Structure 1
């Protein structure tokens, strides 16, 4: 699904296809936190995703603060670098665990959702490429902080564009992943899925 014309391409889709939404229709998002099976893995998954959303928002806000001169170059670099490294490293690690362990277990447990996990796996490849571009743009930006104002502004704009693209991809992916996985956990329970 790396084909941009594909209907389920991450950067252009508006959600999971209808035939993969039968469990989320049975267990709508607004009912998740009240379900008996939300504790444990489902709760951990949601909290982890919320952390990624929060960190992505912080990075977006931070680059905005720098571009609007609310943070100077050195203060921004000290603030930005550890947060970006934490975000990128944890996101990559999270996706590796999902691809290598959880997605195969879930796809095996519910064959009707197999294509959904293939879509999510394809997302991970696109997000991994976006993570690499983001890291490259961030490194160029941090390097440019010691240069003239025009170079800094150009590098900040380039990073902001890469960050915005990554955050948009991540937002769509996290929502779709939750819509596929959380209802499955709620429906079957961790023990029956082999993850508890």
Structure 2
């Protein structure tokens, strides 16, 4: 049986890449002696993306259900979305340029996994661009006032945002399942990360 590796279709990483996760399951991460400050910070960043993504989704739902007025929505939504997208893009650049090469050099059996994660980053970046375009249309309609075209722009934005967020949540989990066990197994210092 073949498991899809496409971000939108997979339910996790292939078992052959998760041999370190078997030795270092998630429930043991917080108490592990090799969970250093860099890894803790990185996990906090991931949780921050999850939280901000949910907050944006909730705010959009509130607007679409008329629980937040249009005048208030734009001022709440636009800066949060800009922060979310720019920090996510920067985070992925750092991983691709600095951390993934280190991990691939020390654990050759996981190179294909890191290449998959880099491919996710490319796809997510494309989706960020799509979200930006849709958000600009949506916020432009919002600034124009009235309801003409606003509902459709909100619905269009919601669709592309959902695609970005659902893929991102899958990606964050998979990235953690590959990276954290490797760090716990080798240690931040021995990997040259601290």
**Which category describes the TM-score, using the shorter chain as reference length?**
over 0.9
**1:107-127 deviations in Å (ceiling 9; x for gaps):** 101111111100000000000
Partner residue, 1:148: 146
Number of residue pairs matched by the alignment? 192
**1:18-57 deviations in Å (ceiling 9; x for gaps):** 1100011110001100101113121111100000000000
Is it true that 1:67 corresponds to 2:76 in the alignment?
Answer: no
SS in 2 for 1:54: helix
Partner residue, 1:128: 125
List, as ranges, runs of 4+ consecutive aligned residues in structure 1 with deviation greater than 4 Å. none
Please list every run of 5 or more consecutive structure 2 residues that lacks an aligned counterpart in the other structure.
none
TM-score (norm 1): 0.95
The correspondence of residues 34-45 of structure 1 with structure 2, limited to 5 A, is 34-45=31-42
Partner residue, 2:52: 55
SS in 2 for 1:136: helix
Partner residue, 2:73: 76
- Hey, what's the Cα distance between the residues in 1 that align with 2:34 and 2:80? 32
SS in 2 for 1:47: helix
- Hey, what's the Cα distance between the residues in 2 that align with 1:195 and 1:39? 10
Partner residue, 1:187: 185
Partner residue, 2:163: 165
TM-score (norm 2): 0.96
- Hey, what's the Cα distance between the residues in 1 that align with 2:179 and 2:155? 36
What is the CA-CA distance between 1:148 and the residue it aligns to? 3.4
Partner residue, 1:177: 175
Partner residue, 2:92: 95
- Hey, what's the Cα distance between the residues in 2 that align with 1:96 and 1:71? 35
- Hey, what's the Cα distance between the residues in 2 that align with 1:12 and 1:22? 22
What is the CA-CA distance between 1:150 and the residue it aligns to? 3.8
Over aligned residues, Cα RMSD in angstroms? 1.3
- Hey, what's the Cα distance between the residues in 2 that align with 1:6 and 1:32? 27
